[in-house]
Chains A and B, each alone.
Chain A
Amino acid sequence: MSNRLFAAGVAFMFLAGCATDPIPAEQIRLTEQAVAQAKAVGAVEQMDELVLAETKLAAAQSAIADQDYKRARVLAEQAELDARLAEARVLTSKSEAQLADLHGKLNRLRKQLGEQQ
């Protein structure tokens, strides 16, 4: 009796499994990592890409709660790249600020040298 129940259970799980994707746990982990990394390099909460990433990550997590694993995976994949773009943009803008600073210092030096001669 319990054997038959078990078989029915397995059959049901198999059928259900056909229609749904697995839980995208690994992808969620990657996305969380990417968001944390973007924040670690100094992405601020107002940044468009970071807002997108965090909103989609939260939506992906609630999709998992609703057992809509395909939607969760899609959202998490997009959120990962949103976060990576946020990180890349922060790094670029930092290097631009460094460049501006260095240009200022070079101008000052050239001015000094001009006065010296």
Chain B
Amino acid sequence: MSRFLAAAGGVCLLALAGCATSPQAQQALEQAHAAFDAVKDNAEVLHAAPKDVIRAGESLARADRLSSYSGSDDDVVHFAYLSQRYSAIATEHGKLTQNNERLAALELERQRLQLTLREAKLLSVQQQGALLDAQMASVLTSNTDRGLVMTLGDVLFDTGHSELKASANRTVLKLAQFLQLNPRRIVRIEGYSDARGDAKMNLELSRARAQSVADMLEDLGVDAKRMRVQALGEAYPVAENASSIGRAQNRRVEIVFSDEQGHLSDER
């Protein structure tokens, strides 16, 4: 008996609730409610997109109201759809605001680390003392066609690798300082290799070495926009490739400086 009553009650309730809405409209309403519930109490979303949250609520209320009239299914679906869209837009704005706050915090952290790294490198340069000068690790030349060119020799890299050794610190620091003192100058960082082995691999190694110089400069605070990286592989050797000394001279990274107005010579 009580089971029958409960069943009858259920049917009555369904009949009342469903009097004006098709299953499709009902489903749209439920989805819109679920989407709105997810944003209405989310402090970040409310903060980032208060208007969209309000509109989501208004559209939902309208859909709810319309669902009690017969023959308004299309309008119910429409306003439920608008409400859901407003909720989704608000959610995205919430995420965006959060990401931007995170970006700002990470950017500060980056500047702090750049400073620390600069100090650490300065310290290690002082410790290494005059040893580096004797190595002639880098040579600055002035070339009429290409402008000011600095050559970073093979000794600054591990053999076959693209990472800069600690002994490159002094050179790279000087470079970073120079670029900070000359904010309008830009550079092209060109990687070269010797002619031994696979040409494609050599091109890649030359690119990787040039890129790691650019990365290091960026780590020290030089804006990446001021640097262009170019791989030239085996092209333009400065010495013959027959001897190991000649090959070592050919494995190099050249840094071409622009003039003070930021005009760079043409690529090779």
The size class of the interface chain A forms with chain B is 20 to 34
Binds A, one of B78-86, B146-154, B188-196: B78-86
Binds A, one of B24-32, B110-118, B238-246: B110-118
Q: In whole Å, how far is B165's beta carbon from the nearest beta carbon of chain A?
A: 10
Judge whether A102 and B106 touch: CB under 8 Å.
yes
Tell me which residues across on chain B come within 8 A of A92, comparing CB atoms. 92, 95-96, 99
Judge whether B121 and A116 touch: CB under 8 Å.
yes
Q: Which of A78-117 contact B (CB under 8 A)?
A: 78, 81-82, 84-85, 88-89, 91-92, 95-96, 98-99, 102-103, 105-106, 108-110, 112-113, 115-117
Cβ proximity bits A60-86 to B, threshold 8 Å, 1 near / 0 not: 000000000000001001100110110
Q: In whole Å, how far is B192's beta carbon from the nearest beta carbon of chain A?
A: 24
Tell me which residues across on chain A come within 8 A of B114, comparing CB atoms. 109
Q: In whole Å, how far is A76's beta carbon from the nearest beta carbon of chain B?
A: 11
Residue B103 interfacial (CB < 8 Å): yes
The size class of the interface chain B forms with chain A is 20 to 34
Judge whether A85 and B100 touch: CB under 8 Å.
no
Q: Which of A85, A88, A98, A112 contacts B103 (CB 8 A)?
A: A98
Judge whether B219 and A109 touch: CB under 8 Å.
yes
Q: Which 9 residue pairs spanning A and B have beta carbons closest together?
A: A88-B92, A81-B85, A95-B99, A116-B120, A109-B113, A102-B106, A92-B95, A92-B96, A92-B92
Chain A residues close to B by CB (< 8 Å)? 74, 77-78, 81-82, 84-85, 88-89, 91-92, 95-96, 98-99, 102-103, 105-106, 108-110, 112-113, 115-117
